[in-house]
Structure 1
Amino acid sequence: MVAGFLVAIFPLIATPGASLALLTQNIAPHGPRRAIPVIAGTVTGIYTHALFAILGLSAAVMHSSQAFFVVRIAGALYLLFLGIWTWRTPRPSPSGSGPPRPAYRQALLSNVLNPKAASIYLTLVPQFVDPHQALSPQIAVLATAHALLITAWLVGWTAILVRAGRTLQSTTWAVAIRRAAAAVLVYLGIRTLAA
């Protein structure tokens, strides 16, 4: 059950998205400590979707075209706002100085407002649960496996980004990375709007 679910969701995790953009944007100027709130926000988002699925809220949203439309538009607008904010934000202070960015909140909202993330718990999860057993523990197990896999993926990317640390902290690279992250977020927002 769990292994099959992980195989099914890995391509979705491996596709660059908002979590990886936020990770890169936070690690490049500030170092690996800033990976923690991004990963924590992403994992909290996964558990939020799992909870919504358990409570039936995700199903209600996905089966109501108006509710799904509102969630999709809210998610798209948030990604657009985040991308524009990232593009316009001045170069961050060197590692360890300046106020921390709200990386946890950004990662959480990016995940919770992403209809694709919600659809995992409506389209994929039902294929990997036994309808004759209690659903809540099964969904919790799958959500935990999902959280562990995405954590490992983001930790791996953190290691790659840290290895390139000095290069990434140069002014030219920091600006390029911030703008690339902003472009990814804007693209994801536009793609969500157009879906």
Structure 2
Amino acid sequence: MSLHTWWLFFLAVFLLCGTPGPNMLHVMTRSVHFGARRSVAAMAGCLAALVLILLASATGLSALLMASPRLFDVLRYAGVAYLVYLGIRAWRSDAAPIDVDGRALVPSLSPPAMFRGGFAIGISNPKALMFAAAFLPQFIDKARPEIPQFAILVATFAVTEMFWYAVYGIGGQKLAGFLTRPGLKRAFNRLTGGIFIGFGLALLGSRP
């Protein structure tokens, strides 16, 4: 893989990761409720799921899903159910007031719970496996050893994703300062809940 190819990959991934999706929405909402620093565990969970998906695609798991539509459907329906569940829970959550430090006065979550939640969000979309399987090989030079190239691409993807987690996390913490009124907090909860449900319904229509 040439330096020119890597730069093309980096630019594509930079734009892709910055696009709002379930992971970024989860990071932002966690930062609204608990602050960016305490949401690092949620970011780590999302990132672990992403790296696992990229590695699974590189090792051929996506080919198994493409060859087994029934298995893909099982994973897809599980992902849909989880995203819709998150949306309904966010929609119905209490409009807890925000304190002067920009954090919601809600019960705290432990770092392991934050990590598990982020990982579940990140792993809930089997379509990501298909995307990674189609996207990563486009930047692999078949004339050179493939494993080092895949390692570079996965590392680049992970670092870029972490950068955008930080952006969304800081943005969520700043946004919390504007949600000091219960009415605004309720509107935010319903907006994010609706978006999560939308993500789930979009996944429902996907095919391998």
TM-score by length of 2: 0.81
Match in the other structure for 2:73: 69
How far apart, in 2, do the equivalents of 1:116 and 1:34 lie? 29
The residue identity in structure 2 corresponding to 1:2 is W
Match in the other structure for 1:24: 28
Distance 1:134-1:28 versus aligned 2 partners, 3 A rule: same
The residue identity in structure 2 corresponding to 1:122 is A
Q: State the aligned residue count.
A: 195
- List alignment gaps of at least 5 residues for structure 2: none
- List alignment gaps of at least 5 residues for structure 1: none
The answer (yes or no) to whether the contact 2:34–2:108 under 8 Å persists in 1 is no
TM-score by length of 1: 0.86
Match in the other structure for 2:42: 38
Runs of 4+ more than 6 Å apart: none
Structure 1 residue 88 displacement after superposition: 2.3
State the Cα RMSD in Å.
Answer: 2.3
More helix by share: 1
CA offsets, 1:121-161, max 9 Å, x none? 20010111123444333222211111111111121122233
Distance 1:164-1:90 versus aligned 2 partners, 3 A rule: closer
How far apart, in 1, do the equivalents of 2:87 and 2:44 lie? 20
* Correspondence 1:130 to 2:141: yes
Q: For the pair shown, which has the larger CA radius of gyration, 1 or 2?
A: 2
The answer (yes or no) to whether the contact 2:57–2:130 under 8 Å persists in 1 is no
Correspondent of 2:130 among 91, 109, 119: 119
CA offsets, 1:22-64, max 9 Å, x none? 1222122222223312221121011111221233212211332
* Correspondence 1:143 to 2:154: yes
Correspondent of 1:181 among 188, 192, 198: 192
Task: Report 1:36-115 matches (<5 A).
Answer: 36-91=40-95, 95=103, 98-100=107-109, 102-115=113-126
The percentage of counterpart residues that share the same residue type is: 26
Q: Secondary structure at the match of 1:98?
A: coil
The answer (yes or no) to whether the contact 1:76–1:190 under 8 Å persists in 2 is yes
